[in-house]
Amino acid sequence: MTPAMIVAFLQEKQLSVQSQQAYKGDLRQFLEICPRLDQSGLVQYQAFLQGLKPTAQRRKVSAVNQFIYFLYTRGQVERFYKLEAVSSPVLTKKRQAPVHLDALWLETELLDGQLMALLMSQLGLTPSELMGLKLEQLDLEFHILNLDRGGQRRILSIPKTLLPYLESRRDQVFLFDKQGQPYSRQWFFNRLSAYVGTLGHREWTAQFLREQFILSRLAAGQSLEQVAKDLGLKTSISLEKYK
């Protein structure tokens, strides 16, 4: 699925300018949350919908199902998926407060897992970003991290409390280095799972820790737009559920 398919889809519909913009916004949001059309992606999008009001849910479900049918009839997907409306009522709730992650700073022998968890929770990095992270991207003197993603450059400030965990890894290519090569995604998953397991918090997954970064930044007064920029997102649409 690509943004170009959204354009092709809208060209076949006779819509007012306002309706066209609404469709476009909903479908771009769908692609951002569900870049690959499969059951796993739809479950993730369904979870996102649960944080919205019923009227917004119904509008987005309708737009997405029409778009999926368009893709199916054009041979862009092998099977037709249908997004189901959220059946349970959505309750208005206060913004979720960040969890205390003090345990991440305790001394441990599982240093790789600890550093992964700290970078995810303190800088909002994803496993993919950690896999490709090279030491040359770190400027420990000025406390900054340079990231390039899809042609977009991000310069993140490294908290001073993180510096001791990074300074011991100077003589290698990657921050997590396997004789000059990056480790596999499974290796990262295993190391993180083993580490948080020793803390008694197996629920502290990569997604959970990244979410804590978002919640802590919003609690500190940052805007959704600024948090999205720090995360390398093109828009803040996928963060609306944290309002």
* pLDDT tens track for 83-136: 776 654 444 445 678 899 999 999 999 999 999 999 999 999 999 999 999 999
pLDDT of residue 11: 87
pLDDT in tens, 123-180: 999 999 999 999 999 999 999 999 987 677 889 999 999 999 998 887 889 999 999 9
Is the pLDDT higher at 3 or at 145? 145
pLDDT of residue 170: 77
pLDDT of residue 41: 79
pLDDT of residue 95: 63
Q: Which residue in this structure is represented by tokens 């450059």?
A: 153
Q: Which runs of E-coded beta strand occur in the chain?
A: 138-139, 144-149, 152-157, 177-178, 181-182
pLDDT of residue 21: 86
pLDDT of residue 79: 79
7-10-12 Cα angle (round to 5): 115
Q: Which residues are catalytic?
A: 210, 242
Contacts of 58 by beta carbon, 8 Å cutoff, 6+ apart: 85
pLDDT of residue 162: 94
Quick check: 243 pLDDT over 90? no
Domain residue ranges of the chain, discontinuous segments joined by +: 3-73, 102-242
Number of residues that this document lists for the chain: 243
pLDDT of residue 68: 87
**What does pLDDT average to over the chain?**
87
pLDDT in tens, 183-228: 999 999 999 999 999 999 999 999 999 999 999 999 998 888 999 9
Q: For residue 177, what are its two tokens?
A: 């280095």
pLDDT of residue 150: 65
Q: For residue 195, what are its two tokens?
A: 């580490």
The contacts found for 197-206 with CB under 8 angstroms, 24 or more apart, are: 198/108, 198/110, 199/103, 199/104, 199/106, 201/103, 204/101, 204/117, 206/116, 206/120, 206/126, 206/127
| The domain defined by 102-242 carries CATH number 1.20.120.420 | no
pLDDT of residue 40: 77
Other beta carbons within 10 angstroms of residue 97's beta carbon come to 10
Q: Which residue in this structure is represented by tokens 């977009």?
A: 152
Q: What number is the average pLDDT over the span 22-43?
A: 84
Q: Which of 3-12, 26-35, 85-94, 197-206 has the highest mean predicted lDDT (pLDDT)?
A: 197-206
